[in-house]
Amino acid sequence: MTVTCAEADTALHAYIDGELTGSDREAYESHLRVCDACTDARRFQARFKAAIRGHLPRPALPVGLRSRVEAALAAAPARRRRFPWQAYPRVFTVGMAVAAALVLMVLNGQRPTRSAVLEQAISTFHHDVPMDVLSESCATVSDWFRGKVDFAFQPASARAAAHCQGGRLVNVRDRFGAYVVYQMTAGHRLGVMVVPSDNEPLAGSHQRLLQGRRAFVDSRRGVSTVVFREPDGLDYVFTADLDEDALANWVDTVYLGR
């Protein structure tokens, strides 16, 4: 079937918000492959979403608000305790169904249509997952990974104008990788994921040469991404709530250009 540009336009926002699934998504993506105007529109809207997010970090909590709320809660009337089936109604009813679905998904195997490394990096960044090691010292974070991943990993140090916050192990399919979160100036957050490559193709809306490396740049779901593969077989994925150009420039001049 064919989708017209007007129809593709109605799906555009759902697509960049990650709400377009299954055959809808396939129909939209197959239209993008033959239509430059809609591809431009997608890229523009994705970049705009990432830019809005990048320019509007969460404001800091006013001093005293937390204790004010805690005091108000302490003064509130006591609450009843809940039984597990009150707290987890859905878990009790559909737990088995979910387990069965998971088994099926594993059995079906994964279709490598999208870059697994990139998807993993974006979702790790989005969910702001807890860290295995919390430290502002990049050296401490680096030490923590020793023996846990099969490669030497040195997070960029203070020279990189971003401060380490912590790290965690991630796994992409059967590979273990390192994920480090940095705090950048003006409250921006940066995640760097390093994973041994399985030679799947990397992806992005356009390419840039960063210190001699061919990097793919993109904005998706409010996150800008830069990804490249090093000759030693490691994939590097940078994710940040910055504009994609700003992120690529930072990787180029600060992270790699030291």
CB of 137 to another protein, least distance (A): 24
Q: Which is nearer to another protein, 142 or 165 (CB)?
A: 165
**Residues that bind another protein in the complex, under the rule CB under 8 A:** 1-3, 6-14, 17, 19, 23-24, 27, 37-38, 40-45, 47-49, 51-53, 55-56, 58-62, 65-66, 68-70, 72-74, 76, 78-82, 86-91, 126, 186, 221-222, 243, 245
Structure tokens at 70: 């805690």
CB of 181 to another protein, least distance (A): 16
Gap between the Cα atoms of 10 and 83, Å rounded: 45
Q: Which is nearer to another protein, 188 or 229 (CB)?
A: 188
Q: Which is nearer to another protein, 44 or 173 (CB)?
A: 44
Count of CB atoms situated within 10 Å of the CB of 181: 24
Name the one residue in this structure whose structure tokens are 């010292």. Answer: 137
CB of 129 to another protein, least distance (A): 13
CB of 176 to another protein, least distance (A): 26
Gap between the Cα atoms of 16 and 13, Å rounded: 5
H or E element, residue 219:
strand 213-220
CB of 15 to another protein, least distance (A): 11
- Rounded CA Rg of the chain: 21
**28: which residues sit within 8 A by CB, 6+ positions away?**
3, 8, 11, 12, 15, 20
Name residue 28's amino acid: Y
Q: Which is nearer to another protein, 90 or 146 (CB)?
A: 90
Q: Which is nearer to another protein, 52 or 101 (CB)?
A: 52
